[in-house]
Structure 1
């Protein structure tokens, strides 16, 4: 099969899966289906959600919501990427750093983002700083753990071969360890970006003004069910798009890497 035909087939399957999901959603919500353990009596129909999307796009606040959320996610993710990758590389290569830092990080890792809200409010004088901190916490640990996994997974034979050729410590790090662990780092960044958006609603519960997460939470408090779904869809699409952008950039920066499907 030609590559172009294969690509079209992939897109067709993906589009069909989305259509099936929307059709199933419409069928269950329009008929107020009650499956016993779950009911769709109060779930808005796709047409109601589409009308709410139009209302949101026509609202002058839409760009304030989007820009506020993008800034918080971007700032939190940038800090998490910088600290997570840096610490991951150090922990993966330096035994004493691993012994000193990994235990407290492992204790903090299972704590959910919502549990950090009271402490974030006490730590930061502004709500903006608190929200950025929550998104930072959400993205940090996937990036950190994937970076450590990538460094630990570097083939020892590559390191031994480089050392036998007289490669110094910094050249070994820059030319062997970092390129070999880059696929895991990119995976961690992609997962961290998704988790960042996942924590957005939790973060924007602190603020009472703007943001897609706040828009979703406010819609819940006033029982505007269609707007809840709109907020969820916007967060999902933005999260998917930003993760895909990171993966695309990673593939461009790693021409030597080919995944299991044979794609660079």
Structure 2
């Protein structure tokens, strides 16, 4: 009623309402079309990824089942069907789940310790000149040494193989996390800290309100790399000095010429590595959701 009266008193107002309504309708349609287009791209990307995996599996089956030798000797490798049968058998045994649980305990223990130590020391290296002078040369000397080369030292240093494997895992994940955090802290714009200082903030305010939030993308980049390197080293350490674990069981399958069992271990390691890396990246996206996203459609 009031809108009708206003239109009679002021025709231009009625026209503006019509234009505003049409603009809103147009905007709603464009946003709906954009959402549908984004959803289509996401599903297309998922289908392509699934097809690529299926194509590799089919190619593997064809090459191994037909005993193809084209520089690479596929005739010596098990077929996909043999691996699937071995996988089904392993899933029904308690040993498989015991090995899986043991490897997960080792990787999570070492990785969590490395995350805490790596972030703390990376922030200290990026913020404190004294800490960088004292601790920086030691990290740069130790960083190029492969963690797996420390296995003999870990065997001598720790009273149990379990503690040694966790230490190797810790060492493998620590350096990527520390280096990424250090670079992220040093790359923060100085004006952010100056702004907090100008408003009367203390050093702790700068740390909690600028340094830690601003370095989160770099921190999670290091965590993502660290978890992958940690899996490489924990499996290698299990093969060398382990008593249980996926790496130990994979090497044992090789020594008894159980090649399908070897590939069961390899696939298990790949799935576990993918799951833990995806969990770290998901946590990183949640923790940095406030940041602007560039090129999100490529993910």
Under TM normalisation by the shorter chain, which class is it?
A: over 0.9
Structure with the higher helix share, 1 or 2:
2
- Supply the distance in 2 between the matched residues of 1:208 and 1:192 (Cα, whole angstroms): 21
Q: How does 1:74-223 map to 2 (within 5 A)?
A: 74-223=108-257
Deviation for aligned residue 1:52: 1.1
The alpha-carbon distance between structure 1 residues 85 and 50, as it changes in their structure 2 partners (threshold 3 A), is same
Q: Which runs of 4+ in 1 moved over 6 A?
A: none
Unpaired runs of at least 5, structure 2: 1-33
Residues paired across the two proteins, number = 263
Show CA shifts across 1:194-222 (max 9, x none): 11111122121244532111111111222
8 Å Cα contact 2:107/2:230 also seen in 1? yes
Aligned to 2:98: 64
Distance 1:162 1:262, change over 3 A: farther
The CA distance in 2 between the partners of 1:18 and 1:113, in whole Å, is 31
Change beyond 3 A, Cα 1:19–1:218: same
Shift of 1:246: 1.2
Q: Is the 8 A contact 2:161 2:242 kept in 1?
A: no
Query: Which one has a bigger Cα radius of gyration?
Result: 2
How far apart are the structure 2 equivalents of 1:39 and 1:237? 25
Indicate conservation of the 8 Å contact 1:201/1:216, yes or no.
Answer: no
Structure 1: which 5+ runs fail to align?
Answer: none
The separation in 1 between residues aligned to 2:65 and 2:189, in whole angstroms, is 56
Residue of structure 1 equivalent to 2:55: 20
Q: CA deviation at 1:255?
A: 2.0
Specify which structure has the bigger relative contact order, considering alpha-carbon pairs within 8 angstroms and separated by 6 or more residues: 1
Q: 3-state DSSP class of the match of 1:202? A: helix
- The RMSD of aligned alpha carbons is 1.7
Does structure 2 retain, via aligned residues, the 8 Å contact 1:113–1:202?
Answer: no
Q: Render the CA deviation track for 1:163-187: whole Å, top value 9, x for unaligned.
A: 2222211011100111110011011
Aligned partner (choices 44, 49, 66) of residue 9 of structure 1: 44
Q: Within the alignment, does 1:52 sit opposite 2:86 as a pair?
A: yes
The CA deviation at 1:71 is: 0.4
User: Partners in 1 of 2:161 and 2:242 — Cα distance?
Assistant: 9
Residues 1:232 and 2:266 aligned together: yes
Check whether the contact 1:183–1:257 (CA below 8 A) recurs between aligned residues: no
